[in-house]
A = this chain, B = another copy of it.
């Protein structure tokens, strides 16, 4: 736990320099624009502890798989997003002495992540070893208006000296990943160039041959007067810089603006890349820092218009939720269906920028309600584009006839993970991908998506389930053997209830979707049948037979669904009775001990109950919650949100709030002591879910939006916005009332506490609490 971040409604603020926590701060102060991003590294030289990180979305390298004991079906290589060219660097020398906060005496220091306007702001005053004192004011952002550009304004004031200040703006592509499996560097140089006030580095990734061109251009002024110092351009391998200096007098302020761009062969022809970089960085330069920053603030204002949550009476909670929303919007903007949301976004190397089921299970609900439907649609199309690879992946494991197993971890559709118990067995991810299609359509009514893309994905997934179950003569049922559920603290279990339940649901939803496409788009239906070689009657009958005869574990005595066969044979111990010295068990127990225990990593049966709540009565929900939650150690950042939502549902406000606390400031307070590696981006969507679906009680029931809001006791009020079938609504929850504002031009009806509330366009209604 850390507590050096200052509470503030709209900003993340560090007062005073916490050098020992610098890696944590670098994660927290990360900035991104969906196309690229990077950690909160310093522009000037810093020789203290730091993890340099700049990432370009979609540009990956297939690192050689590292494995102790090979199993058939493991990927030979797996993709990781690369640490890319460092574009922010500005070396500063004062009379030949390098400005470096590690060697200087830091007299004042403040950094602020301005979430409202979308920039990073750092000010400091430092005394160099020689005694010279400078004040620096540095603003930096990655534009979400032109998402290939970034800009920095870096001003230096000579506080107590006169002399020469040398600036050394550079771009450095000689970069390695800390997590490289074989200590390789992943980039080759294509070109480097340095002019008088500009420089370029064009690199190529090894093996994947992505090209990325990074350009910079700069301007400098002294006490407000533009300067044209004579600058020297220099290059070395994968590196280019300009060097110039200005003579200053005590009290002078030099303002240095650096404009940069990253353009990649994902979006431009390789041969044009250097030209594109020049043009792009030139445009940014022409626009100027002030104008770019103003556009940035405007664009962020619009994002907040859709997605803000305000909380009154609890500034820590307010800051936490805005931080989470801000980071989600920095990570994915929905402009490119080849991109997705890595668990650490652009804030670290861990999990290498890859896609997990987190996207469908946690992020989709967020983007569905807070962004244009196109944003979520892009996330779905991402999986559609990987369908062929998912079919190949299933074939590697012995499945046939178009069965698709989506990878547990991927960038390009290929599997990027190799623990057999996860890669081959944690197959429920397929279910979440199908569920996201359903979720998208019930929020947007865009059923046409089924015909265009959805049905093919559903078919591949359903064919997988159909082959993955086997008929057990012994039980006279279909069983699903050898799986790992969301609770990764048990492996190779039989009949994991969640996996089997979502598989059955997939069979049903695929059958319904097939029917819908047949009726509503017969031409496309025929096309799909032909393309997939679908035996409509035979296969749908098989699906029905499986659904009707699927084994689902149930314990009569306790009235609970059985997480997996044999779960009740384990020694039953509650987390509260476990010696806290063993927590987290993932660090303190050997794997066999974890597996043998009844301790659950994250929602498993409860994940299913959360997703299919309408199938169960409240008593059933309660019995399962009361059984499983006390056995859950929540050692995944994705765990507390689901428990928050269910606790809220069954009226356990106290526990609902305590789960919320575990998720909302996870990174700001470094709750799991791993913020230094990067932020938990996908679990941030879980925090949003906690407020909207947990406290707000937002559900869709029979196609209708319903709310059952509760108000945490230490909050005065809160409000969130939600987009649903073309309406934009703001729900505000006060102690005595719930207010619903319809911000759209369409009359809308929702249910609040079971009561129908119709709100005309652009007006408000309220319901008593």
Do residues B71 and A481 form an inter-chain contact, with CB atoms below 8 A?
A: no
> Closest 3 CB pairs between A and B?
A73-B590, A424-B592, A67-B68
Listed A/B pairs (22) with beta-carbon separation below 8 Å: A66-B67, A67-B67, A69-B419, A71-B590, A71-B591, A72-B591, A424-B591, A425-B592, A472-B568, A472-B571, A473-B572, A474-B568, A479-B569, A481-B570, A481-B595, A482-B592, A491-B491, A491-B492, A492-B492, A494-B569, A565-B566, A566-B566
Q: Give the interface residue-count category, chain A.
A: 35 or more
The 8 A CB mask of A455-479 against B (1 = contact, 0 = none) is: 0000000000000001111110001
The 8 A CB mask of A595-617 against B (1 = contact, 0 = none) is: 11000000000000000000000
Q: Choose from B73, B493, B591 the contact partner of A591 (Cβ within 8 Å).
A: B73
Q: How far is the CB of A100 from chain B (nearest CB, A)?
A: 35
Complex Cα–Cα for A72 and B587 (A):
7
Q: Which residues from B are CB-within-8-Å of A591?
A: 71-73, 420, 424
The 8 A CB mask of A35-78 against B (1 = contact, 0 = none) is: 00000000000000000000000000000011111011100000
Q: Choose from B68, B481, B596 the contact partner of A418 (Cβ within 8 Å).
A: B68
Name which residue of chain B comes closest to A181, CB basis.
B68
Tell me if A396 counts as interface (CB < 8 A to partner B): yes
Name which residue of chain B comes closest to A588, CB basis.
B72
Complex Cα–Cα for A591 and B397 (A):
8
Name which residue of chain B comes closest to A571, CB basis.
B470
Do residues A589 and B68 form an inter-chain contact, with CB atoms below 8 A?
A: no
Complex Cα–Cα for A191 and B572 (A):
62
Q: Which residues from B are CB-within-8-Å of A570?
A: 470, 472, 481
The 8 A CB mask of A646-675 against B (1 = contact, 0 = none) is: 000000000000000000000000000000
Do residues A571 and B471 form an inter-chain contact, with CB atoms below 8 A?
A: yes
The 8 A CB mask of A532-567 against B (1 = contact, 0 = none) is: 000000000000000000000000000000000110
Q: How far is the CB of A412 from chain B (nearest CB, A)?
A: 20
Do residues B68 and A566 form an inter-chain contact, with CB atoms below 8 A?
A: no
Do residues B482 and A595 form an inter-chain contact, with CB atoms below 8 A?
A: yes
Q: Which of A418-445 contact B (CB under 8 A)?
A: 418-421, 424-425
Which of A397, A419, A571, A589 has most B Cβ within 10 Å? A571
Q: How far is the CB of A633 from chain B (nearest CB, A)?
A: 15
For the residues of A in contact with B, the DSSP-based class is: loop
Q: Which residues from B are CB-within-8-Å of A471?
A: 571
Q: Which residues from B are CB-within-8-Å of A492?
A: 421, 491-493, 595
Q: Which residues from B are CB-within-8-Å of A754?
A: none
Do residues B569 and A475 form an inter-chain contact, with CB atoms below 8 A?
A: yes
Q: Which of A461-519 contact B (CB under 8 A)?
A: 470-475, 479, 481-482, 491-494
Q: Which residues from B are CB-within-8-Å of A593?
A: 397-398
Do residues B494 and A566 form an inter-chain contact, with CB atoms below 8 A?
A: yes
Q: Which residues from B are CB-within-8-Å of A481?
A: 566, 569-570, 595-596
Q: Which residues from B are CB-within-8-Å of A420?
A: 591-592
Q: Which residues from B are CB-within-8-Å of A397?
A: 590, 592-593
Do residues B470 and A592 form an inter-chain contact, with CB atoms below 8 A?
A: no
Complex Cα–Cα for A67 and B181 (A):
11
Q: How far is the CB of A560 from chain B (nearest CB, A)?
A: 13
Q: Which residues from B are CB-within-8-Å of A472?
A: 568-571
Name which residue of chain B comes closest to A418, CB basis.
B68
Q: Which residues from B are CB-within-8-Å of A473?
A: 572
Complex Cα–Cα for A591 and B65 (A):
17
Complex Cα–Cα for A589 and B479 (A):
20
The 8 A CB mask of A388-422 against B (1 = contact, 0 = none) is: 00000000111000000000000000000011110
Complex Cα–Cα for A471 and B598 (A):
13
Which of A69, A492, A570 has most B Cβ within 10 Å? A492
Q: How far is the CB of A354 from chain B (nearest CB, A)?
A: 14
Q: Which residues from B are CB-within-8-Å of A67?
A: 66-68
Complex Cα–Cα for A424 and B592 (A):
6
Q: If the complex has contacts A491-B492, A571-B471, A595-B492, are A398 and B71 also in contact, measured as CB distance less than 8 A?
A: no
Q: Which residues from B are CB-within-8-Å of A421?
A: 492
Do residues B569 and A72 form an inter-chain contact, with CB atoms below 8 A?
A: no
Complex Cα–Cα for A421 and B595 (A):
10
Q: How far is the CB of A246 from chain B (nearest CB, A)?
A: 50
Which of A72, A471, A592, A595 has most B Cβ within 10 Å? A592
Do residues B596 and A482 form an inter-chain contact, with CB atoms below 8 A?
A: yes
Q: Choose from B66, B72, B396 the contact partner of A66 (Cβ within 8 Å).
A: B66
Complex Cα–Cα for A492 and B71 (A):
16
Do residues B424 and A590 form an inter-chain contact, with CB atoms below 8 A?
A: yes
Do residues B589 and A398 form an inter-chain contact, with CB atoms below 8 A?
A: yes
Which of A65, A73, A396, A570 has most B Cβ within 10 Å? A570
Q: How far is the CB of A352 from chain B (nearest CB, A)?
A: 14
Q: How far is the CB of A596 from chain B (nearest CB, A)?
A: 4
Q: Which residues from B are CB-within-8-Å of A479?
A: 569
Name which residue of chain B comes closest to A427, CB basis.
B592
Q: How far is the CB of A557 from chain B (nearest CB, A)?
A: 9
Q: If the complex has contacts A569-B474, A569-B481, A571-B472, are A592 and B73 also in contact, measured as CB distance less than 8 A?
A: yes
Complex Cα–Cα for A554 and B396 (A):
36
Do residues B568 and A398 form an inter-chain contact, with CB atoms below 8 A?
A: no
Q: How far is the CB of A478 from chain B (nearest CB, A)?
A: 10
Q: How far is the CB of A82 from chain B (nearest CB, A)?
A: 20
Q: If the complex has contacts A481-B596, A570-B470, are A68 and B71 also in contact, measured as CB distance less than 8 A?
A: no
Q: A72-B591, A420-B591, A494-B566 are in contact. List 14 more A-B contacts (CB 8 A).
A: A67-B67, A68-B419, A73-B591, A397-B592, A398-B589, A420-B592, A424-B591, A470-B570, A472-B570, A472-B571, A474-B568, A481-B570, A481-B596, A566-B566
Q: Which residues from B are CB-within-8-Å of A424?
A: 590-592
Name which residue of chain B comes closest to A419, CB basis.
B69
Q: Which residues from B are CB-within-8-Å of A571?
A: 470-472
Q: How far is the CB of A421 from chain B (nearest CB, A)?
A: 8
Which of A419, A471, A595 has most B Cβ within 10 Å? A595
Q: How far is the CB of A355 from chain B (nearest CB, A)?
A: 18
Q: Which residues from B are CB-within-8-Å of A66?
A: 66-68
Q: Which residues from B are CB-within-8-Å of A566?
A: 481, 494, 565-566
Do residues A396 and B590 form an inter-chain contact, with CB atoms below 8 A?
A: yes
Name which residue of chain B comes closest to A182, CB basis.
B182
Q: Which residues from B are CB-within-8-Å of A418?
A: 68-69
Complex Cα–Cα for A473 and B473 (A):
28
Complex Cα–Cα for A592 and B585 (A):
26
Complex Cα–Cα for A396 and B589 (A):
9
Name which residue of chain B comes closest to A394, CB basis.
B590
Complex Cα–Cα for A244 and B67 (A):
49
